[in-house]
Amino acid sequence: MKAIYILWLRQIKRYLRTRARIIGSLGQPLLFLFALGFGFGPIYEKAEGGDYIQFLAPGIISMSILFTATFSGIEILWDRQFGFLKEILVAPVSRLNIMLGRTLGGATVAVIQGTIVFFFSLLFGFKPANLHVLPFALIFMGLIAITFTALGTAIACFIEDMQGFQIVVNFLIMPIFFFSGALFPIHRLPKIVHFISSINPLTYGVDGLRTVLIGGSLLGVGTDLLVMASVAFVILVLGGHLFSRIQI
């Protein structure tokens, strides 16, 4: 447990020291909120969808968590390149504990990033239905963060160069994001697109987060919670297995 805590704390300290990373990672979510929120807002309203900012903001919060969490896996490649990973792996600590500590640290950073985007979204006109539901929103944010931090770790375990990691991650997370219902409702999509969305774990995270913030679940908040928790567990197990076999 001590190793998990130390690695968790190290991830957070590394994040807080890099102010450029914090500012840079806010650029894309804020651009999406501004450009899409105000650009497509009138069209969405004419289609009787209501206030698009209300619909969009939970999706952009999820996007911020998705990107931050998944790309946290690149730190394994940095540590491997500079020899720090070798120092950790030769320590008398279970590799599973090392992986859990790194994953929880990366997930915490992703949740912090998502929380910052949430507060910025208030400036764009987003209004949560009830502030008392914010702790429940953190649950879904945490599940999204853990799931995709573990996924990023799993990918980093069998890719040795940073360029390859970025290519693979972008190839995966862009479809995951666009087919999650973050930008548009999924219930009126063509059957094939709806099927793709239904097997996308982020769909359930976005729907759950949107439900607790503004209401109107499409899939059921219980289903969202069950699917996200199950996927997070499976990917954690997979990531732990791959990390235990990593070569240095």
Cα separation of 69 and 147, whole Å?
A: 8
Classify the phi-psi angles of 220: left when phi > 0, otherwise alpha if psi is within -120 to 50, otherwise beta.
left
CA angle 102, 151, 181 (to 5 degrees): 125
Classify the phi-psi angles of 217: left when phi > 0, otherwise alpha if psi is within -120 to 50, otherwise beta.
beta
Answer yes or no: are the C-beta atoms of 207 and 181 closer than 8 Å: yes
DSSP state of 131: G
Answer yes or no: are the C-beta atoms of 147 and 102 closer than 8 Å: no
Answer yes or no: are the C-beta atoms of 80 and 229 closer than 8 Å: no
pLDDT for the residue 31: 87
Cα separation of 238 and 151, whole Å?
A: 8
Q: Return all residues near 91 (Cβ < 8 A) that are at least 6 apart.
A: 3
- Cβ-in-10-Å burial (0-12, 13-18, 19+) of 66 comes to buried
Cα separation of 174 and 63, whole Å?
A: 10
Residue whose pair of structure tokens reads 């930008």 in the numeric block: 183
Structure tokens at 152: 């990023």
Q: Return all residues near 214 (Cβ < 8 A) that are at least 6 apart.
A: 54, 55, 58, 128, 129
What does the pLDDT profile of the chain (248 residues) look like in tens digits?
665 666 667 666 666 666 556 676 778 888 888 888 888 777 777 765 678 888 899 999 999 999 988 888 887 777 777 666 666 766 667 777 778 888 888 899 899 999 999 999 999 889 888 777 788 899 999 999 999 999 988 888 888 777 788 888 888 899 999 999 898 888 777 888 888 899 999 999 999 999 999 887 788 889 999 999 999 999 999 988 887 777 66
pTM score, two decimals? 0.90
Question: How many C-beta neighbours within 10 Å does residue 86 have?
Answer: 12
Name the residue among 151, 121, 144 with its Cα closest to residue 34.
Answer: 121
DSSP state of 133: G
Name the residue among 96, 79, 141 with its Cα closest to residue 3.
Answer: 96
